Amino acid sequence: MKLALLAGNRFSAWHLRVFERLQPAPEITAFRAESEIQRHFAERGANTLSFPTERIHFDTQAGPAWTRLKNILLERYGVREARLLPFHDRLQGFDLIHSWELFTEWTAEALAAKEKWKISLCLMVWDNLPFNMEQTAQRREIKRRAIAQTDRFIVHTERSRHMLLTEGANPEKIVCMAPGVDLDLFSPGKAQRDRFKLQADEFVILFVGWFLPRKGIDFLLVALREALNDPAFQKKRIRLLAIGSGPGKDRVDQLVKRLGIEQACVFPGALPYDQMPEAFRAADVFVLPSIATPEWQEQFGMSLIEAMACGVPVISTWTGAIPEIVGDAGILCQPNDALSLHTALKDLMNMHEKRLELAQQGRERAERHFSLAQYAENLSGVYQALAE
């Protein structure tokens, strides 16, 4: 089987691991466009693929020089968004196209190739908000065609499945499967805190992710200040280890300074994906304090299952798909609420036995539901059914 992988800006290391484990192994070509977000994914080792990639371009990256310059200036000053240059003719000869989300230009190219070359189309959908991302007539038309013409939708949560049903997708075309992590790589182990300049007697709170406001790190920083000033913890040394990069770091730095918590924060930047288990094992608790916005709710939270697989207690929020992912193996608090987050942290800091219990429950939940091997088997089955 010849598989065209159109993952848009989803060329991160953990998104791609499953495609290296498909059986029987298809002949994969990945089509990717360089962007700012893709450069940040490269910091996590997303360029180390076992299958070839072909670059596709935005209209700010290729074409006549004058046109590129004009489009760059219009994008810079917020007048327009960069557009993909058409590449659907390059998809001739593939047996299956795998694209992502209803509304993307990658999916528009996949639909054009499907219509022209009669290729099966599999669409992976993470979005969980009905009628989302419909700011333009063009996007609404892409979504309409994708709902009508896609051969198989793959979703990872019940929220995404319900979103597709609300938008009119055929329920028989929807397959729900959990993504997974390498449970041998992400596993409990001895904490190596030296590389992060952390001490053995410190209570370490871990955050992993973009520094975008929607990930809730601002509320975590305020909750950290509350913990540092809580009389109950005057003898406890508390540190935040924040792993990540991307837009928003300047805002975070300013908030850290304003709160006066510089000495309690460690920002080592992004880590290659294979080194992430070291960060999880260095932590006493992992926190994903996501919040909802009008256009986004947490779609999965891959770092949640990485933490659980490493046997790290999890604190997160009641938003998006997080309750589905965490189940009863973590503590959930109100989103957009630093005091609620502080209370959850306070409870776990005081309860060593509870942390051990959640650590065991998290690992068991990861083994039951979030195995990369099972994910690869399920995805292989979908592809083979489409190829028959």
- Judge whether residue 353 has pLDDT over 80: yes
Residue boundaries of the structural domains of the chain: 2-180+371-387, 194-369
Residue-level pLDDT at 80: 61
Residue-level pLDDT at 32: 84
- Judge whether residue 205 has pLDDT over 70: yes
Q: Check if 2-180+371-387 and 194-369 are the same fold.
A: yes
- Judge whether residue 345 has pLDDT over 60: yes
Which H or E run includes 208? strand 203-208
The arithmetic mean of pLDDT across residues 340-349, rounded, is 94
- Contacts (Cβ under 8 Å, ≥6 apart) of 201: 237
Residue-level pLDDT at 346: 92
Which CATH superfamily includes the segment(s) 2-180+371-387?
Glycogen Phosphorylase B; (3.40.50.2000)
User: pLDDT > 70: what percent of the chain?
Assistant: 90
Nearest to 203 by CA among 115, 74, 312, 101: 312
d(CA 72, CA 91): 27
Q: In what order do the strands lie in the sheet with 152-155?
A: 53-55, 27-32, 2-6, 96-100, 120-125, 152-155, 174-176
Residue-level pLDDT at 183: 97
pLDDT band at 43 (very low <50, low <70, confident <90, very high): low
Give the pTM: 0.91
pLDDT tens, 94-123? 999 999 999 999 999 999 999 999 999 999
Residue-level pLDDT at 45: 55
Instruction: Tell me the fold of 194-369.
Output: Rossmann fold (3.40.50)
pLDDT band at 89 (very low <50, low <70, confident <90, very high): very high
**Least confident among 15-19, 100-104, 141-145, 367-371:** 15-19
Q: Within 10 A of 22 (CB to CB), how many other CB atoms are there?
A: 18
- Judge whether residue 12 has pLDDT over 80: no
d(CA 311, CA 330): 11
**Least confident among 49-63, 292-306, 324-338:** 49-63
Tell me how far the alpha carbon of residue 375 is from its chain's centroid.
16
The arithmetic mean of pLDDT across residues 27-53, rounded, is 69
**Least confident among 147-151, 154-158, 267-271:** 267-271
**Least confident among 74-78, 254-258, 281-285:** 74-78
The arithmetic mean of pLDDT across residues 287-316, rounded, is 96
- Judge whether residue 271 has pLDDT over 80: yes
Residue-level pLDDT at 78: 66
Residue-level pLDDT at 64: 73
Q: Which residue has the higher pLDDT, 53 or 384?
A: 384
CB 153 within 8 A of CB 175: yes
